[in-house]
Amino acid sequence: MGAEIWLAVAVMALAVSFDFTNGFHDAANAIATAVSTRALRPRAALTMAALMNLIGALMGTAVAETIATQIVNLGGLEQHEQLSIVLAALLGAITWNLITWWFGLPSSSSHALIGGLAGAGLAAIMIQWDDVAVKWAKIGEKVLIPMIASPAIGFTLAFFGMIAVLWLFKNSPPHRTMRRFRVAQVGSAAALALGHGLQDAQKTMGVIFMASIAVGWSQEGNPIPFWIKALAASAISAGTYSGGWRIMRTLGRKVIHVDPARGFVAEATGALVLYLAAFTPIHAPISTTHTITSAIMGAGATRSLSAVRWGVAKNIVTAWVLTIPAAGGTAMLFFFAIQGVGSLL
């Protein structure tokens, strides 16, 4: 087996590791509110989320193709050069994921990966790999604009959705109404977990597809093979089942105390935004984390603006803003380290 094949296998193994960290990092997205309102027990919620992640990951490949073809162009490079860029991108994204997980901040694994790809590509350009091109216009169109729009849409839809719920159920007995919403939360949490798999597992599919193209196992322009989809789906599902308790506490309790009605509205809104981003023509790789966090804030703000703990929200938004440049900068350092090691071999 040639050196490039071994490198491709290493890149794919690291991509699977990233997918796993994505799962446990983002497990809280789908189930934090359902657990905090006691609609689901934690282990049952994780099992449900893992299963829905698996199903969602197998439902499409449009977002994966965006990651594979519209962030950075590697077409003119040698196999080992393409693989070294993807390797550095993954290392940068995983490092940032672990940092934000440690501090309990629900940052975006999606944007960490995109930042890693852009940063590694930029580092390659800096050492005059002229066949590399970072597609800044596409990043602006498919990443930056949706990154701003999806939280704004999530907040707004959840806010007005909760207003509608309060009006519709204003004369209903509170205890019975909340009990019914607690049951409904099982469905809304499942829908959100499906959207998480649909969005986030596809991003890893895109990276594995890039590695397989580099060594000739796949051809650009062809459909993503089933083995890649199954590998990414299984990894994110396993990661989700392993849990993400630190971030779950942040989303479920620290941002705002969520009751079953607000939890249902936030989850349903988040799922809707994820499906629209995946199935509309833009195929935007949006952040599940950004979407559900903003929806929780929107639903919670109907109680009162002071009900939202804006200090915690500020820390979360800071992590969002830093994610792409931080993961990109880390990926650049890894890229230069990889080139340094390569020159010694």
Q: What confidence score (pLDDT) does residue 265 get?
A: 94
Q: Which residue has the higher pLDDT, 1 or 336?
A: 336
Does 78 have pLDDT greater than 90?
no
Most confident stretch, 226-230, 293-297, 310-314, 327-331: 327-331
Of 87, 83, 58, 82, the C-alpha closest to 201 is: 58
Q: What confidence score (pLDDT) does residue 322 get?
A: 87
In angstroms, what CA-CA distances link 27 with 102, 306, 314? 14, 27, 21
Enter the pTM of the model: 0.81
pLDDT in tens, 24-72: 766 666 677 777 777 878 778 888 888 988 898 888 777 888 888 888 8
| Amino acid at residue number 218 | S
3-state secondary structure 111-161: HHHHHHHHHHHHHHHHCCCCCCEECHHHHHHHHHHHHHHHHHHHHHHHHHH
Q: What confidence score (pLDDT) does residue 246 get?
A: 53
Does 215 have pLDDT greater than 90?
no
Q: What confidence score (pLDDT) does residue 27 get?
A: 64
Average pLDDT, the chain: 83
Q: What confidence score (pLDDT) does residue 10 get?
A: 87
Does 177 have pLDDT greater than 70?
yes
Among the residue ranges 2-6, 51-55, 80-84, 200-204, the one predicted with the least confidence is 2-6
Helix (H) or strand (E) holding 311: helix 310-344
Q: Can you tell me the distance from the alpha carbon of 249 to that of 255, in angstroms, rounded to the nearest whole number?
A: 9
Q: Can you tell me the distance from the alpha carbon of 216 to that of 221, in angstroms, rounded to the nearest whole number?
A: 13
Q: What confidence score (pLDDT) does residue 89 get?
A: 93
Does 75 have pLDDT greater than 80?
no
328: confidence class by pLDDT, cuts 50, 70, 90: very high
DSSP string, 229-288: HHHHHHHHHHHHHH--HHHHHIIIIIS----HHHHHHHHHHHHHHHHHHHHSTT-----H
Q: How much is the average pLDDT of 308-318?
A: 67
Cβ count within 10 A of residue 266: 34
Q: What confidence score (pLDDT) does residue 248 get?
A: 55
Percent of the chain with pLDDT over 70: 88
Percent of the chain with pLDDT over 90: 23
Q: What confidence score (pLDDT) does residue 29 get?
A: 65
Backbone phi and psi for residue 127, each to the nearest 5 degrees, phi listed first: -100, 20
Q: What confidence score (pLDDT) does residue 221 get?
A: 76
**Contact criterion met (CB below 8 Å) for 272 and 157:** yes
Q: Which residue has the higher pLDDT, 52 or 308?
A: 52
Burial 251-265 (b: 16+ CB within 10 A, else e): bbbbbbebbbbbbbb
Burial 26-53 (b: 16+ CB within 10 A, else e): bbbbbbbbbbbbebbeeeebbebbbbbb
